[in-house]
C-alpha cells in the first residue's frame, strides 16, 4: 500500500500545472540547498578546530554541549515557518478499502524526508568522526550523535503535530510564540539557563549511554501523537469541521453588514482571508513576528540612538498587517477577479473597503506595540508617528500599487517559502513603504532635530487620513484604467 501511495503522489505532482510551471524554480532551489549542505559539511569538518580556538581552554565538546539546545530551538523555529506538512488528497481514499492507519503511517513516514532531518549528518557527524572518536570511546561518540539525530526526528513530528493543530485552531500559533517569548525572558533575566541543562545532559550521555533512552522515548511519543491525530481526524466530517470553525469566527463579524455595502465587502474579505491557507498563515504568522520584531533591536542601547533604525522598526512593527496584506490587495481575489469586474460594484466603495480593512488591524497592532514604551518614551513617540504615516501615506499608496501586481495568487498553498504570485514589484515596494520613510525621518532629524522630524512625519500621516477619500478616488480611477490589463495578467499567470 505504501508503494501505491508513493506512485499516486508522484503522478499527482508530475501532472500538476503548478509543478510544470515552476520546474526551473525547483531546480534553482535544489542547487541552493546543495550549496547550503556543502557549506554545513565544511563547518562540520572544521567544527572541532573552530571550537578549540573559541573555547579558550574549555574542551570543544563541552562548549558545543551548552549550545546544542539553542541549535534545536532555532531549527524548530525554522521548521515551524518553513517546513511543509506532508499532505495527500485522502478524501477519495476514504470510500475505498484503504485503512486510515496506513494513510497516517505514510504521511508520517513521508515527513522523514524533510531537509532538516539530514542536517545532523552534515554538521555533527564529521565532528563526531574527527573529534569525539579521538577523545572518547567510539560507542560514546555514536550515542552522542544518535541522541542529536533522535532529538531532530522528535522535533520533526512535534512540529507536524503543532502545525496540524494550527490549521484547525490558527490562534494556537500564539501559544507557540508565547512559549518562545517565555524562554527568551527566562534566559535574558537569568531565571533559568537552558545551556546548563543541555551541557548536563550531553555530558552524562558521553559517560552513561542509557541516557539515549530520553530522545528515543520523546521520538516515539511525538510520532505516536502525530499518528493518532491524523488517524483520528481522517473522517469526512472532520474536513467540514474546519469550515464550521471559520464560519463561526466570521459570523461574529456579521454586524459589519449593517454598515452598508462597504461593511458587507469587508466581511466578505475577512471570510476569504480566514478560509484559505495562505491568507490564514499570513495573519497568524506575520502578525506575531512583526510585533515581536522590536525585541531584536530595542534591547540594544546603541540602536536606541539610531533614528533610521528606530523608524524602520516602527514602520514594520505598526504596519506589519498593512504591508503584508496590502501588497496583494487585489491578488487575494485573483481567482474570481473576472466575476468582480462584471459585478455591480462601485470601485470607490471597493477600494474604500480595502483601505478600512488595512487600517483597522493596523490600529490594533499599534495598540499592541505600546508596551515597547518599556524601552523608552522615545520609542513610543516614533512608533506613534510611524503608525500615522502607515495609515495616512502607506495605506493609500498600497491602493495605487495594487494596479501593478498582476500575478495570480493560489490561496490553498502555504505562505512560507512560497513565491507563487510574488513578482519583482513586491520586492521593489519595500523601497517606498519602509526605506523612504526611514530615510526621510533621518534627513529631517539631521536638519531640524528629532522632535520636528517626528511632528512632520506625523503631520504627513494625519494629512493622508484627512484626505483619504480623495486619495481613494484617485486610486480607483487609476485602477479603472488598468483593470483589463490586471485581469489579463491574472488569467495568464
Work out the pLDDT band at 456, boundaries 50, 70, 90: very high
Query: Could you give the CA distance from residue 116 to residue 156 in angstroms, rounded to a whole number?
Result: 8
The ranges assigned to domains in the chain are 2-234, 276-492
Residue 354, CA distances (Å) to 151, 323, 398 in order = 45, 13, 10
φ/ψ (deg, to 5) at 124: -110, -25
Q: Can you give the pLDDT at residue 341?
A: 83
Task: Name, in order, each residue with C-beta under 8 angstroms of 164's C-beta and a sequence gap of 6 or more.
Answer: 85, 226, 229, 230, 233
Q: Can you give the pLDDT at residue 294?
A: 85
Residue 38, CA distances (Å) to 31, 34, 132, 458 in order = 11, 6, 21, 49
Q: Can you give the pLDDT at residue 142?
A: 94
Q: Can you give the pLDDT at residue 420?
A: 63
Query: Could you give the CA distance from residue 141 to residue 10 in angstroms, rounded to a whole number?
Result: 39
Tens digits of residue pLDDT in 177-228: 777 778 777 777 778 888 888 999 999 999 999 999 999 999 999 999 988 8
pTM of the model: 0.68
Residue 279, CA distances (Å) to 80, 185, 348, 380 in order = 17, 30, 24, 29
Please spell the DSSP secondary structure of 287-345, one letter per residue.
HHHHHHTHHHHTT-TTGGG-HHHHHHHHHHHHTHHHHHHHTTTTGGGGGGHHHHHTS--
167-176, 260-269, 342-351, 424-433: segment of lowest average pLDDT:
167-176
Look-up of cell digits 528515543: 216
- Mean pLDDT, to the nearest integer, of 61-74? 89
- Mean pLDDT, to the nearest integer, of 316-342? 86
What percent of the chain stands above pLDDT 90?
Answer: 29
Tens digits of residue pLDDT in 369-410: 998 888 889 999 999 999 999 999 999 999 998 888 888 877
Q: Can you give the pLDDT at residue 407?
A: 81
Mean confidence (pLDDT) of the chain: 82
pLDDT at 247 over 60: no
Tens digits of residue pLDDT in 473-485: 999 999 999 888 8
pLDDT at 250 over 80: no
pLDDT at 251 over 80: no
| Residue 442: all three cell numbers together | 533621518
Cβ burial of 96 (10 Å; 0-12, 13-18, 19+) is exposed
Q: Can you give the pLDDT at residue 421?
A: 63
Task: Name, in order, each residue with C-beta under 8 angstroms of 223's C-beta and a sequence gap of 6 or more.
Answer: 108, 154, 157
Q: Can you give the pLDDT at residue 7?
A: 63
| Residue 55: all three cell numbers together | 573555547
Query: Could you give the CA distance from residue 116 to residue 109 in angstroms, rounded to a whole number?
Result: 14
Q: Can you give the pLDDT at residue 239?
A: 46
Work out the pLDDT band at 430, boundaries 50, 70, 90: confident
- Mean pLDDT, to the nearest integer, of 295-323? 87
Q: Can you give the pLDDT at residue 384?
A: 94
Q: For 59, left (φ over 0), alpha (ψ -120 to 50), or beta?
A: beta
Q: Of 5-9, 14-18, 482-486, which one has max mean pLDDT?
A: 482-486
Q: Of 234 and 305, which is predicted with more confidence? A: 305
pLDDT at 96 over 50: yes
Q: Can you give the pLDDT at residue 252?
A: 52
List the Cα angle 174/323/342 in 5-degree steps: 110
pLDDT at 26 over 60: yes
Amino acid at each position: 500500500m505504501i508503494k501505491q501511495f508513493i506512485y499516486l503522489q508522484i503522478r499527482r505532482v508530475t501532472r500538476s500545472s503548478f509543478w510544470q510551471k515552476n520546474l526551473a524554480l525547483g531546480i534553482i532551489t535544489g542547487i541552493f540547498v546543495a550549496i547550503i549542505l556543502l557549506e554545513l559539511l565544511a563547518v562540520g569538518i572544521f567544527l572541532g578546530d573552530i571550537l578549540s580556538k573559541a573555547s579558550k581552554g574549555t574542551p570543544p565538546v563541552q562548549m558545543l554541549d551548552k549550545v546544542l539546545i539553542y541549535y534545536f530551538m532555532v531549527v524548530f523555529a525554522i521548521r515551524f515557518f518553513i517546513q511543509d506538512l506532508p499532505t495527500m488528497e485522502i478524501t477519495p481514499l476514504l470510500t475505498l478499502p484503504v485503512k486510515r492507519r496506513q494513510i497516517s503511517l505514510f504521511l508520517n513516514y513521508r515527513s522523514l524526508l524533510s531537509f532538516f532531518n539530514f542536517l545532523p549528518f552534515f554538521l555533527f557527524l564529521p565532528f563526531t568522526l574527527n573529534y569525539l572518536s579521538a577523545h572518547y570511546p567510539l560507542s560514546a561518540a555514536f550515542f552522542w550523535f544518535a541522541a542529536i539525530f533522535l532529538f531532530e526526528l522528535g522535533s520533526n513530528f512535534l512540529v507536524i503535530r503543532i502545525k496540524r493543530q494550527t490549521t484547525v485552531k490558527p490562534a494556537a500559533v500564539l501559544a507557540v510564540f508565547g512559549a518562545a517569548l517565555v524562554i527568551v525572558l527566562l534566559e535574558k533575566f537569568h531565571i533559568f539557563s537552558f545551556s546548563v541543562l543541555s551541557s548536563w545532559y550531553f555530558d552524562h550521555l558521553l559517560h552513561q549511554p542509557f541516557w539515549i533512552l530520553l530522545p528515543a522515548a520523546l521520538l516515539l511519543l511525538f510520532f505516536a501523537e502525530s499518528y493518532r491525530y491524523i488517524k483520528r481526524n481522517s473522517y469526512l466530517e472532520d474536513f467540514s469541521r474546519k469550515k464550521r470553525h471559520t464560519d463561526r469566527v466570521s459570523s461574529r463579524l456579521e454586524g459589519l453588514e449593517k454598515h452598508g455595502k462597504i461593511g458587507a465587502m469587508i466581511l466578505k474579505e475577512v471570510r476569504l482571508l480566514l478560509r484559505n491557507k495562505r491568507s490564514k498563515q499570513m495573519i497568524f504568522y506575520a502578525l506575531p513576528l512583526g510585533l515581536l520584531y522590536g525585541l531584536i533591536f530595542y534591547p540594544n542601547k546603541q540602536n536606541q540612538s539610531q533614528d533610521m533604525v528606530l523608524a524602520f522598526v516602527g514602520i514594520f512593527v505598526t504596519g506589519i498587517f498593512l504591508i503584508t496584506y496590502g501588497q496583494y490587495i487585489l491578488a487575494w481575489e485573483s481567482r474570481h477577479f473576472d466575476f468582480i469586474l462584471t459585478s455591480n460594484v462601485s470601485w470607490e466603495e471597493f477600494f474604500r473597503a480595502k483601505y478600512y480593512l488595512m487600517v483597522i488591524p493596523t490600529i490594533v497592532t499599534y495598540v499592541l506595540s505600546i508596551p515597547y514604551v518599556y524601552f523608552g518614551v522615545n520609542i513610543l513617540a516614533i512608533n506613534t508617528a510611524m503608525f500615522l504615516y502607515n495609515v495616512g501615506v502607506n495605506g493609500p499608496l498600497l491602493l495605487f500599487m495594487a494596479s501593478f501586481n498582476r500575478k495570480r495568487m493560489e490561496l490553498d498553498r502555504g505562505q512560507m517559502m512560497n513565491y507563487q504570485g510574488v513578482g519583482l514589484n513586491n520586492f521593489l515596494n519595500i523601497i517606498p513603504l519602509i526605506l523612504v520613510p526611514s530615510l526621510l525621518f533621518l534627513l529631517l532629524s539631521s536638519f531640524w532635530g528629532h522632535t520636528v522630524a517626528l511632528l512632520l512625519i506625523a503631520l504627513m500621516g494625519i494629512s493622508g487620513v484627512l484626505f483619504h477619500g480623495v486619495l481613494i478616488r484617485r486610486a480607483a480611477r487609476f485602477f479603472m484604467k488598468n483593470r483589463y490589463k490586471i485581469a489579463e495578467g491574472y488569467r495568464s499567470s
